[in-house]
Structure 1
Amino acid sequence: MLSLLAKLNWPFLVLWAAVALSGVCIDRYRRSRRFGKLRGCQTSHKQAQVKDPFIGLDFIHERVIRGLSGRRLLDCIEKFKQYGSTYSVDRLTYQVVQTCDPENLKQVLATGFDDFALPSSRVSVMGELLGSGIFTLDGDLWSHARAILRPSLAKHKMDRLPSILEHHVQQFLTHIPRQGEEVDLQPLFFELTMDIATEFLMGYSSNMLDPSRKREKEQQFFDDYMLCSEEAIKKMSYGPLRFFRLNLAATKAKKRVFKYMDEYIEECFERQDGTAEMTDKENAFQEIASAITDRQSLRDQLLHFLLASRDTTASLLSNLFFVLAKNPQTYARLRSEVLSKVAFETPTFSGLRDIEYLRWCVNESLRLHPVIPSNGREATRDTTLPRGGGTDGKSPLFLRKGAVVLYNVFSMHRDPAIFGDRVDEFVPERWSGLRPGWGFLPFSGGPRVCVGQHFALIETYYLVTRIVQTFERLESKDPREWVELPGLAMTCRNGNKVGLYQA
């Protein structure tokens, strides 16, 4: 073998490789110029500076050595201020476009939907945690997976939701001290929404908040799931280097998550067979189970549903009560508005829609701390974005096949041109008459809009109403500011430590 290598003409091989690479680059340049000219594209003059435009050693240093900071989203805002609402990060081997322009998000998510797919890094990483489902599939497979879950959120199924919500919110309230003692609401919200989602979907609640049962198993599931969620985001941030990131603790946690779900599914099948009691016989589990005969695929679909319903609502509730605790006057007005509409009665869904200030508070929380703050798509063919080209960034921008568009909702939601002054503050009153259109995307948009959006909002309105009916005052027990916790759904790294005072 060594003798064969010694006989090779290395200068010739290096020259051949250089010529071949040059040919690829020239062909790519001609193709992009021809395509771009037809579409009126201009070169992006808003390009982030990179120290290594060839291999990306600066990227390796930033993601692998430094890692993700708790200021990742705030750093993105600074980058957009420096380079504009759309800018490129180009290297020889790949093209990345960062954007927070509503017109570009509309193009990626709706108008040009067929030109984009999920980035391979997201599919790979989320597939490891959640398996195959609506968050990891494209095309016909995605449509089929979404069609399986959609019936569970049909209007006639939603009629069962009020009784489910009331039962579990009462269990939730038993865990809240009544005279201002400190409590961390964040894990309680995740357990509450898990109990609700499992009973609504499967007819049998996980009962994480049931005060009569031990909670070690459920707490282990919660801790494992959150660890896997954090690891997934960190791994996705590595991009093409994700295969080199190893976390044995997360690998073990994932196995325990799968084991917990498999055991839960088996218990649900026993209850369907009549060998154990069902808390709700009118559930979607039968429909999903009949459509999916493979147990692993069934587990995957249920994990995806939990992310779409449980994580979304829990993160929204936790983020909302974090800012409400920092703004006692806002909480007082919210409580006054709720009591003026529904007093201390059990609210109806139609009654909740009449509480305007409640909607404003929820929208403002979703604006300030969107549950999914950033995402991305990968171009499946040569295509364009409507903005990002030219010296002013207002001309179309060419995207070659394989280019990745990373869109940042967190930054877009802080655009003064859309939301006015004090965009870094929690000001529900800004929503009086505000119609931000594609500038406000807390649940994404287009065909892939969050399948659990309506479920999450109705659930949130109901739970917030019941909590503010019960407690006259809410105060923060943590002087620190909100700091992002990277995960599949965004929450505060320090939790949500508050004190509540019963009326």
Structure 2
Amino acid sequence: MVHEQETEEPCCSSLSSVILTLSIAVGAYFLLRRNPRYKRMMNQLGGPPPLPVLGNVLYFLRPHEEYLIMMGEWIEKYGTVFGVWIGNFIPYIFVADPNCAEKLLSTMNHIDKGKYDYSLLYEWLGTGLLTATRSKWSSRRKMLTPSFHFKILEDFMPVFNEQATILLDCLDKKESTGKSFDIFPYITRCTLDIICETAMGKRINTQTSSINKDYFEAVNGMCELILQKNTQPWLRFPPIYYMSSVSTRERAYLKKLKGFTLSVIKSKKADREKQKSEAGNKKKQTDGDSVYGKERKTFLDLLLDASENGDGLTDADMREEVDTFMFEGHDTTAANLGWTTMLLAAHPECQKKVQDELEEIFQDDPTRDVSTADVAKMKYLECCVKESLRLYPSVPLIMRQVDYDFKLDDGRVIPKGSTAMIAIYFNHRHPDHFPEPLKFKPERFLIENTTKRHPYCYVPFSAGPRNCIGQKFALLEEKVVLAKLFRTYWMKATEKMEDVIPVPDVILRPKNGVNVALYKRT
């Protein structure tokens, strides 16, 4: 019975989707007919010819693994800036041009994310830093920026090291078999353990235990549902959404995710009150201490500090920021760790250079933990990480709401009210900025090779005032984990890079995983 229900449901959903899409599109079509100026500007931009009512939506009813191929073909045919219609009512401007990307990202004029796409995250993340609009984003960004100061990040190094060591222990069992396997799930669990401990001070031990598997499954499940709702627009229509199994699953996941975070907040607040009470009226404390003791502060602790200092953060406000940090810092970091591991395994000459560099750094004690001073010396490894992000950015597309008409260099106009889809993936592969763009060449990122490069041709963490607030955190974590991995193992890829298919889901992932064989170094 279960299998029958699973096969019947998509058919019903497909029929409902056609009816719904047509009805909404027809209504929107007649509304848009009254705005000839808007349509004229979109026509001047060019792009794949839209169908009446449906626009270009049928192009997206295909496997995700074909999206990047399709977009690459569009660039070849229509250039690096053109228009795409989702139905007859949602205009997107596809941007794979650094000059245009700079105009969109470098000012506050177009600071809001694409409303249609990022609204999918509201139920989980509320209007935290990722999804907040102009005024709220500005105040939250100002409040949260000190949380990513170098001294705070340095305090997280023990967590990075410990969880990376646990990852090695888990991989030892795979290495002993001598067989190829997908290392990506192991990396993903490691990054989730790291983000939970640094964000909330909560050890969930997904690498070694199944005790908190419900939380792990809820995080992954919500990411899958977000993707599903993005590619099945009929699920945005309340009657269809609430009749679907997606609604039931989403409510269950949200209950677990929100409940978990709120319980940690409640527990943290109680602990702080207890410590504050025990501290009494002590007036003398050593530098760096607080009434809460010498423990390493988590992201949540910093939010609680802000709340107590008069920033007016409620538990709900703190929950949405912690969950935003969890969402943004989990899959994206795992994705780049996975791609970098795969690329080094597929390029033994680069892997050898990384290991030579690590041996030079750790020659006094090859098994000791990584320090921030060590990380500063990892110049070639950093080049490898950056080149991996160039070829396979964790977030291949980002959206911006266009709030003002603005002219392109060729005189065409991107109209107010459209959504700019900035194609980081293709921006990074432009041969004018990166010769032999499909080749893995870490030396591109040696300082002497970057000085004349367009500042917006490489934006793996976005750019401008709304760039990724956690990029230093991510890069520090990645270097620690990669240093531990490649000090311990020699890796061989079991798939040629030209056969690897990147799939733009919530993050950019390899379709078949990161398949490697491990060999313990002696």
- TM-score interval, smaller chain: 0.7 to 0.9
Identity over aligned pairs, percent: 21
Contact 1:347 1:462 in 2 (8 A): yes
Structure 2 residue 408 is matched with structure 1 residue 386? yes
Structure 2 residue 140 is matched with structure 1 residue 145? yes
Partner of residue 187, structure 1: 185
Contact 1:129 1:254 in 2 (8 A): no
Question: Pick from 210, 219, 229: which aligns with 1:215?
Answer: 210
Figure out how many residues of one structure are paired with residues of the other and give that number.
456
Contact 1:204 1:278 in 2 (8 A): no
Distance 1:427 1:20, change over 3 A: closer
The superposition leaves residues 369-397 of structure 1 with CA deviations (integer Å, 9 ceiling, x where unpaired) of: 0011011212223x21433xxxxxxx132
Contact 1:127 1:136 in 2 (8 A): yes
1: distance between equivalents of 2:203 and 2:148? 17
Structure 2 residue 97 is matched with structure 1 residue 101? yes
Question: Pick from 391, 404, 421: which aligns with 1:406?
Answer: 421
Contact 2:29 2:53 in 1 (8 A): no
Equivalence map 1:44-443=2 (5 Å)? 47-52=46-51, 54-56=52-54, 59-63=56-60, 66-89=61-84, 93=89, 95-111=91-107, 113-115=108-110, 117-177=112-172, 178-179=175-176, 180-209=178-207, 211=208, 214-215=209-210, 217-218=212-213, 220-237=214-231, 242-243=236-237, 246=241, 248-249=245-246, 251-253=248-250, 255-267=252-264, 269-270=266-267, 273-274=270-271, 280-289=295-304, 290=307, 294-343=314-363, 344=366, 345-381=368-404, 383-387=405-409, 395-421=410-436, 423-432=437-446, 433-435=448-450, 436=453, 437-443=455-461
Partner of residue 5, structure 1: none
2: distance between equivalents of 1:18 and 1:353? 56
Partner of residue 281, structure 2: none
Equivalence map 1:467-482=2 (5 Å)? 467-471=485-489, 473-478=490-495, 481-482=499-500
Partner of residue 287, structure 2: none
Distance 1:239 1:250, change over 3 A: closer
Distance 1:235 1:164, change over 3 A: same
Contact 1:233 1:486 in 2 (8 A): no
Cα distance, 1:142 vs. partner?
Answer: 1.1
Cα distance, 1:55 vs. partner?
Answer: 1.3
Contact 2:396 2:504 in 1 (8 A): no
Contact 2:503 2:509 in 1 (8 A): yes
Superposed CA RMSD in Å reads: 3.2
Provide structure 2 residue ranges, at least 5 long, that are not aligned to the other structure: 1-27, 276-291
Cα distance, 1:419 vs. partner?
Answer: 0.7
Task: Report SS of the residue matched to 2:229.
Answer: helix
Q: Which stretch has the larger CA shift, 178-187 or 126-135?
A: 178-187
1: distance between equivalents of 2:235 and 2:201? 42
TM-score where L is the length of structure 2: 0.78
Provide structure 1 residue ranges, at least 5 long, that are not aligned to the other structure: 1-16, 33-42, 388-394
Cα distance, 1:240 vs. partner?
Answer: 8.6
Cα distance, 1:486 vs. partner?
Answer: 3.6
Question: Pick from 510, 515, 522: which aligns with 1:492?
Answer: 510
TM-score where L is the length of structure 1: 0.81
1:425 partner amino acid? K
Distance 1:278 1:396, change over 3 A: farther
Contact 2:339 2:388 in 1 (8 A): yes
The superposition leaves residues 95-152 of structure 1 with CA deviations (integer Å, 9 ceiling, x where unpaired) of: 43211000111111114x3145322212321213322211211111112333443332
1: distance between equivalents of 2:294 and 2:62? 45
2: distance between equivalents of 1:190 and 1:400? 40
2: distance between equivalents of 1:231 and 1:279? 40
2:48 partner amino acid? Q
Distance 1:229 1:318, change over 3 A: same
Distance 1:429 1:297, change over 3 A: same
2: distance between equivalents of 1:226 and 1:294? 27
Task: Report SS of the residue matched to 2:127.
Answer: coil
The superposition leaves residues 451-486 of structure 1 with CA deviations (integer Å, 9 ceiling, x where unpaired) of: 110000111111111111111x10124568332344
The superposition leaves residues 298-355 of structure 1 with CA deviations (integer Å, 9 ceiling, x where unpaired) of: 3221111112322221111011112222222321221112212333143322332222
2: distance between equivalents of 1:322 and 1:278? 42
Cα distance, 1:487 vs. partner?
Answer: 3.1
1:224 partner amino acid? A
Partner of residue 4, structure 2: none
Question: Pick from 25, 32, 36: which aligns with 2:35?
Answer: 25
